[in-house]
Structures are given as structure tokens and as C-alpha cells.
Amino acid sequence: MRSIGEMARDSGLGVSALRFYDRAGVLVPAWVDPVSGYRWYEPGQLDEARVLARLRRAGMPLADIRLVLAGWAGPDTDLVRGLLKAHLRRLERGLTDARVEFSALRALLDHRENPMTSPLTATARLAVPAGELVAALEAVRFAASTDPELPTLGGILFDIDGESLTVVATDRYRLAVAQAPATGHDGPRVRAVVPLPLADAMRALLHGEEPARLTVDGDRVLLKSGDRETAGQRLDHDFPDYRRLVQLPEGRRARVDTAAFREALVTGPVRGSETREQDGVSYDVSVLGVTDDGTVTVQADAADTEDAIGVNRDFLLDALTAASRDELILELGAPTAPLAIRRPDDEKTFSLLMPVRLED
């Protein structure tokens, strides 16, 4: 007999997926311990689990998966072959339809003007307290993308508007926003995406509390601090309108002691190792819930608390470090809504983490 952990390891299905398929009656364990509820599988079920994992990755509907497994061990494979061919045809039709829609979207993009894009001729000069700019950059740097397929996100947005400088970074799965006071700019709003190497050079340049002088002149960005300076070209890409991304329904707010919460995450239960198919990165999933008295819990299963939310544990630990406060406010909405990490004393600096789907 194989334990559920061994079955997950050898089949390519996560523990949570095996539990789901048991509840759905698709892959039922051979024996369940009546005391502990622990699931055990016969050796022959490993092949079925591996088939199920492949069908799952191919996006086959659950009803068809059930029929494929029912006919897999039988002598007549016509039904199984027919189901596989039918699903492949659906995928091909779906891909054709998607290509048509994406072609139309690209045409729309080619013929529309983006009012959020600052022209490369825009100029802005402003002064920002060095310490404030350091804090802002450190609060968002962890969320910047390193995906070469998305060069638009491979930098930090500098959004200059009136007497404030907002810096933003996102890699699709997390987004961080911070704001620093600025003086000297009285022109229109200017946005510039600063590549990560230049942003890191800026951070290394900043020391003390003397104002740093930031200049955006066309496609060039320059930062001076004392008698030192660093400069480079801004990215010639649009950055998503982060103001739309942070408009979230109000969730349940809970104050946490950062050190204690970090310890609970590191030592607490996880939902097993899962793989994000978008980039193939493995990560542990922490399940968070809020009790009636407002305490945030790290739990083993989503069923332990109503409206529990799953998050990438490493991303959450990074966000706690970047927030740089002894106490933080976690805002949990619906299980499908992002988790917000906020500072009690600074509502304009925060980060959002996309939730991880807990049901397969």
C-alpha cells in the first residue's frame, strides 16, 4: 500500500489533488484509516494516478477523465481513444479561436492610443529625501519580474504626479506599491519604467537624508545624490495601470505581530509542493484563515476556516520582510481575491499577493 504522500510524489498529483479526486469519486483510495482518515492506495492505482495527472495537465474535463479511467484497464480501448481524440479536437478548436481573438486584440492595440503612456519627450525634475526613496525602493523591489518573456515588467515604475513619487513593481503574481514625498515638479504626470539594474544602482547610491535629485528627460533617467550620480535609459514599454489593479473589495482586516506570524509560516503546515505551470517554479502553499476573534491562522486545510485563502509561502515571507514593520495588517477578501499586506502607519505603501487555488 502507498500512503497519500508517496502517491503524490510518484504520480505527479499533489496531495490536495488526490483528496479532491477522492471526494469526486474519480480516484478513490483502497483504504481509509477510520481513526485518522489517512488515505492508502494499492500499487496498481499508481498507473491510474499517472494517467490522471497527464489528463489533468491536458485540461480534460472531469466527466471525461472519469470515463477514461473507467475504461483504461479494460480490453476495449475504443472508448478511451475516442475520448482522447475528442478532447484533442476541442483543444485545437479552442486554440484556433484563441488565435483569432488575439489577432483582433493586437489589431486593436495597434490602432489605439494609450493615454497612460508618457511621451518620451516628457521632462520632470524633482527632489526626494534620500531615506524616503530608499524605503520606497526596498518596499517594492521584491515584486519586480525577472521573466524575459515580459520585459514590460522587468523594471520599477516611477510615477511622478505633483508632490509625490510612487514606485510600483509587479511580476503578475504579486504587486508592491510605495510612495515618497517629492518637491520641485509642477508639470503634468510623468511615468517612467526604470530597469532593475538602474533601480538597484540608485538604491546603492542613496545615503543619508539629503534630498536626492531625480530627472526624467525623454528616455533618460538620472539620479544625483551629493556629488555622485547614476543614469541610464528608461524601458521603452508601457506599464499596467496599477491604480486599477489595487481597487479591491473590502476584506477582513487583522493585525499581526510580524515576527510571530513569520515563525508561524515557517514552522506551520503547508498544502504540499505544487508547481506553477506558468513558469515551472515549485513552491509551498500556506493556507490562511481569520478566526472570529480576528486572529490570523496558518492551517493545514482550507476546510478548517470559512473563506480561507491559499498563498505562495515564499512570496508572503518576502512581502513581510519588505514591509519592514513590527506589526502589519493583513487584509483577506474572498478566496479568489488578492491578499493585501499593509503597514498600520502608512496606507500608501502595501503589497498584494495573488491567491493560489485550493480546490483542483
Domain coverage including residue 204: 123-243
Q: For the segment 27-42, what is each residue's pLDDT rounded down to a tens digit?
A: 999 999 998 889 999 9
**Do 128 and 165 fall into the same domain?**
yes
Q: What is the pLDDT of residue 302?
A: 64
Q: Is the pLDDT of residue 273 over 60?
A: no
Which position has the higher pLDDT, 208 or 121? 208
**Do 215 and 290 fall into the same domain?**
no
Whole-number Å distance between alpha carbons of 249 and 112: 30
**Do 231 and 298 fall into the same domain?**
no
Q: What is the mean pLDDT of residues 54-74?
A: 87
**Do 128 and 238 fall into the same domain?**
yes
**Do 129 and 235 fall into the same domain?**
yes
Q: What is the pLDDT of residue 196?
A: 95
Q: Is the pLDDT of residue 7 over 60?
A: yes
**Do 237 and 127 fall into the same domain?**
yes
Q: What is the pLDDT of residue 288?
A: 92
Q: What is the mean pLDDT of residues 2-25?
A: 88
For residue 263, being part of any structural domain is answered with: yes
Q: What is the mean pLDDT of residues 234-238?
A: 85
Q: What is the DSSP string of 1-59?
A: -EEHHHHHHHHS--HHHHHHHHHTTSS--SEE-TTT--EEE-TTHHHHHHHHHHHHHTT
The CATH number given to whatever domain includes residue 348 is: 3.10.150.10
Q: What is the pLDDT of residue 221?
A: 94
**Do 261 and 338 fall into the same domain?**
yes
Which position has the higher pLDDT, 79 or 216? 216
Q: For the segment 283-332, what is each residue's pLDDT rounded down to a tens digit?
A: 888 899 888 888 899 987 766 566 788 899 999 999 999 999 999 999 99
Q: Is the pLDDT of residue 121 over 70?
A: no
Q: Is the pLDDT of residue 60 over 60?
A: yes
Whole-number Å distance between alpha carbons of 355 and 251: 14
Of 39, 63, 89, which residue is a domain's last?
Answer: 89
Whole-number Å distance between alpha carbons of 343 and 259: 14
Is residue 88 within 8 Å of 80, Cβ to Cβ? no
Q: For the segment 158-201, what is each residue's pLDDT rounded down to a tens digit?
A: 999 888 999 999 998 999 999 999 999 878 889 999 999 999 99
For residue 113, being part of any structural domain is answered with: no
Whole-number Å distance between alpha carbons of 79 and 76: 7
Q: What is the pLDDT of residue 306?
A: 62
Q: What is the pLDDT of residue 279?
A: 58
Neighbour-count burial of 168, counting CB atoms closer than 10 A to its CB (0-12 exposed, 13-18 middle, 19+ buried): buried
Q: Note the helical H segments in 175-301.
A: 196-205, 242-245, 258-267
Q: What is the pLDDT of residue 249?
A: 77
Q: Is the pLDDT of residue 276 over 50?
A: no
Q: What is the pLDDT of residue 248?
A: 81
Whole-number Å distance between alpha carbons of 28 and 158: 53
Whole-number Å distance between alpha carbons of 286 and 23: 22
Q: What is the pLDDT of residue 207?
A: 83
Chain-wide mean pLDDT for the chain?
87
Whole-number Å distance between alpha carbons of 6 and 334: 32
Of 68, 89, 110, which residue is a domain's last?
Answer: 89
For residue 60, being part of any structural domain is answered with: yes
Q: How far is CA 289 from CA 15, 343, 360, in A?
A: 20, 19, 19
Which position has the higher pLDDT, 285 or 232? 232
For residue 284, being part of any structural domain is answered with: yes
**Do 14 and 40 fall into the same domain?**
yes
For residue 185, being part of any structural domain is answered with: yes
The CATH number given to whatever domain includes residue 15 is: 1.10.1660.10
Q: Give the number of residues written for the chain.
A: 360
Q: What is the DSSP string of 119-162?
A: PTT-EEEEEEEHHHHHHHHHHHGGG----TT-GGGSEEEEEEET
For residue 61, being part of any structural domain is answered with: yes
For residue 335, being part of any structural domain is answered with: yes
Ramachandran class of 272: left when φ > 0, alpha when ψ lies in -120 to 50, beta otherwise:
left
**Do 188 and 290 fall into the same domain?**
no
Q: What is the pLDDT of residue 313?
A: 92
Q: What is the pLDDT of residue 120?
A: 61
**Three-state SS letters, 279-319:** CCCEEEEEEEEECCCCCEEEECCHHHCCCCEEEEHHHHHHH
**Do 76 and 146 fall into the same domain?**
no
Opening angle at CA 143, ends 141 and 144, nearest 5: 70
Of 13-17, 88-92, 104-108, the range with the highest mean pLDDT is: 88-92
Count of domains for the chain = 3
For residue 95, being part of any structural domain is answered with: no
Q: Is the pLDDT of residue 257 over 70?
A: yes
Ramachandran class of 204: left when φ > 0, alpha when ψ lies in -120 to 50, beta otherwise:
alpha
- Of the pLDDT bands very low, low, confident and very high (cuts 50, 70, 90), residue 117 is very low
Of 209, 243, 277, which residue is a domain's last?
Answer: 243
Of 143-152, 275-284, 312-321, the range with the highest mean pLDDT is: 312-321
